[in-house]
Structure formats: C-alpha cells, structure tokens
Amino acid sequence: MNLPKVKKIPLERRLLWARWDKIVNMTSSEIRSFRTSDDGQTVGWTPDEARRGSISGMAGQEASKRIENLISKAGKFRGQFKNLPPWNEDEWKLANKQVAYISRARGNIGELVNDDDERTPKAKAMMLWGRDGVRARGSFPDKDALKKQLIKDDVSVNIANQLLG
C-alpha cells in the first residue's frame, strides 16, 4: 500500500501561525467596528507618520484594514496547527509584523485602562492590530513553550513518515 507522506511545514512558519492564532483575539468585524468608531479614529498613525517612524512602514488604520482580511482567511484554521491559512507571502509578512507589534505594545509601560475604567491609547492601538488586551488580560502565549510543542509535533511527523515510507 502506498500511503502519502505527512506534510511537513517549516517550524518557523508554524511558530508564527501558533503565536498569531493565540495573540490575535478579535474578529474582523470587531476590528472594523472599532476602527470606524470614534475611539478607533483617535488612534493609529497617519500614512506619513508611519513611513517616518514605524518599523512596519504601515499606519495603524491601514494595517487594520489588511488585518481584517488575514483574520477572515484564517477563520477555519484557528485553533489547530497542522494546516495553515492560505496566506500569500505578503500576508505572512504582515502577520509577523502584527505579532511583533502586539508583543512590543504589550510590553510597553502603561495600563490598558485608566482610572475611569476607559481604554487607554495603548489598548486602543493594540485593538487596531487585532488584540483586545483588556478582554485577554493575563493570557499571552509563551513563545518558547509553543516552540517546544511544535518541535515535539515535528518528531511525530518524522516518525510517521518513516513508518509510511
């Protein structure tokens, strides 16, 4: 019997997907609703500001629109790591920028809510990029733990391929 080999996806790509899947906790409609709200209109750099000072070279409002599409394409792949969403290379780069931005922003000094229990600019900026930090307080994936799990999964794939071939 000639069984197909188990597909092996590069570890770094799977790690990016695993982190993205755990960090991004908003739906595309939630991002759109926030971005178009009065609060959402008050955060995010203009395209000129982004070109001058941003690592991604992309304004928060502009990135937010593109992130909506990433989330839509990722829908049926959420919560599993054996198959990845059908993103093109530019979308994978955006996902990487998104994870990097949210991780940096999360580590920046400052609270997510002020004394009046309103979201701070830090929280609002993260929301443009797909993370509602207030809703997800305390839960952020450990990159090293995810990588260990994915390596363990790689060993399983290698064993399966040896058994099949």
The domains of the chain are located at 11-164
Q: Using the 8-state DSSP alphabet, how is residue 120 labeled?
A: -
Return the SS3 of 70. Answer: helix
Residue 4 has what pLDDT?
A: 55
pLDDT (tens, 9 = 90+) of the chain, 165 residues, equals 555 555 677 888 989 999 999 999 999 999 999 999 998 888 877 667 777 765 556 677 888 999 999 999 999 999 887 789 999 999 999 999 999 989 988 888 889 999 998 999 999 999 999 999 888 766 677 788 888 888 887 665 555 555 555
> Could you give the CA distance from residue 66 to residue 68 in angstroms, rounded to a whole number?
5
Here the tokens at position 131 are 């993370």
Residue 60 has what pLDDT?
A: 77
Neighbours of 61 (CB within 10 A): 18
Residue 72 has what pLDDT?
A: 95
Residue 158 has what pLDDT?
A: 57
Residue 45 has what pLDDT?
A: 72
Residue 19 — φ and ψ, nearest 5°? -65, -45
Tell if the pTM clears 0.85, that is, is over it: no
* Cβ atoms of 77 and 83 closer than 8 Å: yes
Here the tokens at position 21 are 């899947």
What is the secondary structure of 3-35 as a DSSP string?
PPPPP---HHHHHHHHHHHHH----HHHHHHHH
